[in-house]
Chain A
Amino acid sequence: MARVTLEHVTKQYEDVTAVDDMNLEIEDGEFVCLVGPSGCGKSTTMETIAGLTKPTDGTISIGELDVTKLPPKDRGVAMVFQNIALFPHMDVYDNISFGLRLRDYDTDEIDRRVERATEIVQLDGMLDRMPDEMSGGQRQRVAIARAIVRNPDVFLMDEPLANLDAKLRVHMRTELQRLHKELDTTIIYVTHDQAEAMTMSDRIAVINAGELQQIDPPLVCYNEPSNLFVAGFIGSPSMNFVEGELVDNGLQTGSFHIEFDTSSLVGVSVGDPVTLGIRPEDVYLVDRGRDIAAPTKPIPVETDVLEPMGNEVFVYLRVGDSGGRSMAEAEERGATSGPTGQLLMSLDSDTEIMEDQAVEVVLDRTNLHLFDADSGQALVHGIETLGRSGLGEGTTQTGAETDT
């Protein structure tokens, strides 16, 4: 058991910076997921912790020990690989006991530990099988047993479930959580699957382009994303983004206006471009929106495509007629957010709604996010307090304006 600390870790390949000034503090016994899109440097970060890759710069400590220059074998880490990486020429027993045999444990101790590890991963009676005689899930369990048998300080898992089929993946996910509860070891888990990250981890570290974007508990990442990237990456389907501009009494986008007291926003002033973010489940039809505490004024939209998922329906909405232009603008800026002239809304599956239907929607002010469009940094999460304190009157006033 140990905490893992990365300080200013940088890894540069000839002309690519894979990891850029990464600072991470992972507590003892914590389950941390590194998530990010493909090629964002999360695996490289993991490899620097394991010692398989030497960082160009920075220090890595495990426990009290600075391990930056230590070879992998002396770091007290165990790793589970994406491609499982069992030794094909050894049977299960030899695979699991590989690390123990290297360390000259006596046979009884090895037998006892292997037995316990196989019990934990439920692999009893398979010790003399060869890896190619086993199914994917069983192999993955052997790999996990091989990792836990040495009682490592830190567990590193590099997309261990990526090569399994969907059903098995969900099953192994719960097993891993059970394992973490049982062993109480520090686990660092790399995945590009945000569902895995959300369900399993104590904290999520979102990484993009080699830089740490945010490290927080899953729900904090979900509810209070620190920037546009995290907001767009966490959550499925992802958050709606609408480009707009800060005006005297709120935010003006291409097709609608949301009013709040702009004076309390730090770092931006009237006239600055601002991106509004709203999750699909925080977009309501007008009549249903009456239940929520702080709705915005209604926005006239037209439904586009429906995606019934069974328990809910995703509805694509066309906002105003400026959609095409905003989209082009967004592309010009190279923004990663979705087309700004379109909103995604999720509804109960029993809602009666048709394609190409004109409706009005409201947004839940409590869950509105504002981002500085230039830097991408979050300005505020939830604007209901801003609205109340500053412009209690203005709601009806400007509401009338847009309604016309």
Chain B
Amino acid sequence: MATQTESPTDDANRSPLQAWTHGVITDQEKQDRLYKALFYVAAVFFLVTTLFPFYWLLVLALTPNSSILAGDWSLPVIGLEFPHPQGFNVVAFVEVFQQVPFHLYVFNSFVLAVTTTIIVIAIASLAGYVFGRLEFPGRGPLLLGILVISYFPPAAFLIPLFDAFLGNAVVIPFLGIEVFEPPRLVNTPGAMIMPFSALFLPLSIFILMTFYGQIPDGLEDAARVEGTTRLGALVRVIIPLSAPGVATAAVLTFIAVYNEYFFSEIMALENVPQNWSPLVGGILSYQTQYTTDFNLMAAASIVGVLPMLILVVVAQEKIVSGLTAGALKE
């Protein structure tokens, strides 16, 4: 820090850029200012990139479909092209439910997501407890197996699963031996919940394993001496103390299933709510062969996002602490 007390003549020899970088390096105040400026730039960038799509949705929802199709977005007086609502067509949000039973699609997605989340958290809790707190032979290979399977692309499972869920007998390849004949599951929630649970389990297992592994042994021992079984200790002590982790795993699973389209669209043979077609299917059903109601699709998207928004706002604190930290004092 000896350079801090340099003579002003040194400064004169430098180009403006050199002088500025030198100032930032040596002067704490300038450094802080730079960091602050960089922080705001980054924050604004992220805010714009994440919030602009929502703004765009809102604009589309409020603009009558005819204006959207006309495609003229120039601002009134200035004439500059900028996305802005042309009109205030709030009726679109009502029309959404009139044209298509959109609430049923939302309900489908919601039920699928809740059921999958419950199944995933229940199974991942048991697995996380075992992997995080017990030492047993084969622990390493099993964990590795879960990790490896979680990297398989979901599409790889699609065709055999679809084949099986149609009710065709499961046959061992090449040998032609029939293993069993599954029930016809397409168009039922079972055909979606089972693959979802399997796909999202590994992530939850890893999250919960880390959290459960951090709970001090003494607490579990204390619970067991006080009168719980191992399972009781898991439910009464370990899970409550790992609440941020459980919330994280649950919310991640819920969001992923709620937004899911690939599997559910294929497992629901027609895009109707009676076949458990999900939210995204509902949004797409505003599109017919000849017309596309962009304003309704946008309005439906906003309606569909609302439950997520509420969930995230409610669980935000726990998710953030769950994703970032997790250490627990005894």
Contacts and interface: CB of A to CB of B under 8 A. Distances in A.
A98 B223 contact: yes
Interface in A57-100: 71-73, 77-79, 81-89, 98-99
B191 to A, nearest CB: 39
A302 B229 CA distance: 64
B217 to A, nearest CB: 9
Contact of B330 (A51, A85, A156): A85
B328 A87 contact: no
Contact of B225 (A52, A82, A86): A52
A42 interface: no
Contacts of A87: 219, 222-223, 237, 241
Given A79-B221, A88-B329, A102 B226 contact: yes
Given A85-B216, A88-B329, A72 B237 contact: no
Given A85-B330, A88-B241, A89-B241, A102 B218 contact: no
A81 B222 contact: yes
A50 B227 CA distance: 11
Nearest to A52: B221
A82 B329 CA distance: 15
B219 A85 contact: yes
* Interface-centre pick from B218, B222, B241 (highest chain A CB count, 10 A): B222
Contacts of B216: 83, 85
Contacts of B228: 73, 102
A47 B221 CA distance: 9
A51 B241 CA distance: 24
A279 interface: no
Contact of B218 (A72, A81, A98, A99): A81
A198 B224 CA distance: 31
B227 A73 contact: yes
Given A85-B218, A88-B241, A132 B329 contact: yes
Contacts of A81: 218, 221-222
Interface in A90-140: 98-99, 102-103, 132
B232 interface: yes
B218 A73 contact: no
Contacts of B241: 87-89
Contacts of B330: 83-85, 88
A297 interface: no
A64 B224 CA distance: 22
Contacts of B222: 79, 81, 85-87, 146
A52 B240 contact: no
B232 A102 contact: yes
Contacts of B219: 85, 87-88
Nearest to A50: B225
Contacts of B224: 51-52, 71-73
Q: Is the interface of B mostly helix, strand, loop or mixed?
A: helix
Interface string B198-238: 00000000000000000010110111111111001000010
Contacts of B240: 89
Interface in A251-300: none
A151 B222 CA distance: 16
B15 to A, nearest CB: 57
Interface in A28-64: 47, 50-52
* Interface-centre pick from A72, A86, A102 (highest chain B CB count, 10 A): A72
Nearest to A132: B329
A72 B227 CA distance: 7
A50 B226 CA distance: 10
Contacts of B221: 47, 50, 52, 72, 79, 81, 85
Given A83-B330, A89-B240, A89-B241, A98 B226 contact: yes
A388 B219 CA distance: 60
A73 B216 CA distance: 19
Contacts of A98: 223, 226-227
Given A83-B218, A88-B241, A78 B225 contact: yes
A88 B226 contact: no
A207 to B, nearest CB: 20
Interface in B284-330: 328-330
A86 B237 CA distance: 10
Contacts of A132: 329
B226 A146 contact: yes
Interface in A121-170: 132, 146, 150, 156
B225 A79 contact: yes
Contacts of A71: 224, 229
A4 to B, nearest CB: 15
A142 to B, nearest CB: 11
Nearest to B232: A102
A169 to B, nearest CB: 19
Contacts of A150: 226-227
A145 to B, nearest CB: 12
* Interface-centre pick from B223, B229, B329 (highest chain A CB count, 10 A): B223
A107 to B, nearest CB: 17
A154 to B, nearest CB: 11
B226 A73 contact: yes
A68 B270 CA distance: 61
A321 B221 CA distance: 55
Contacts of A78: 225-226
A83 B217 CA distance: 10
Contacts of A156: 225
Interface in A2-50: 47, 50
B134 to A, nearest CB: 13
Given A88-B329, A98-B227, 7 more contacts: A52-B225, A82-B218, A84-B218, A87-B241, A88-B330, A102-B228, A132-B329
13 contacts: A51-B224, A51-B225, A52-B225, A71-B229, A73-B226, A73-B229, A79-B221, A79-B225, A85-B216, A85-B330, A87-B222, A88-B328, A99-B226
Which 7 A/B pairs are nearest by Cβ-Cβ distance? A85-B218, A99-B226, A85-B222, A73-B227, A102-B227, A79-B225, A72-B224
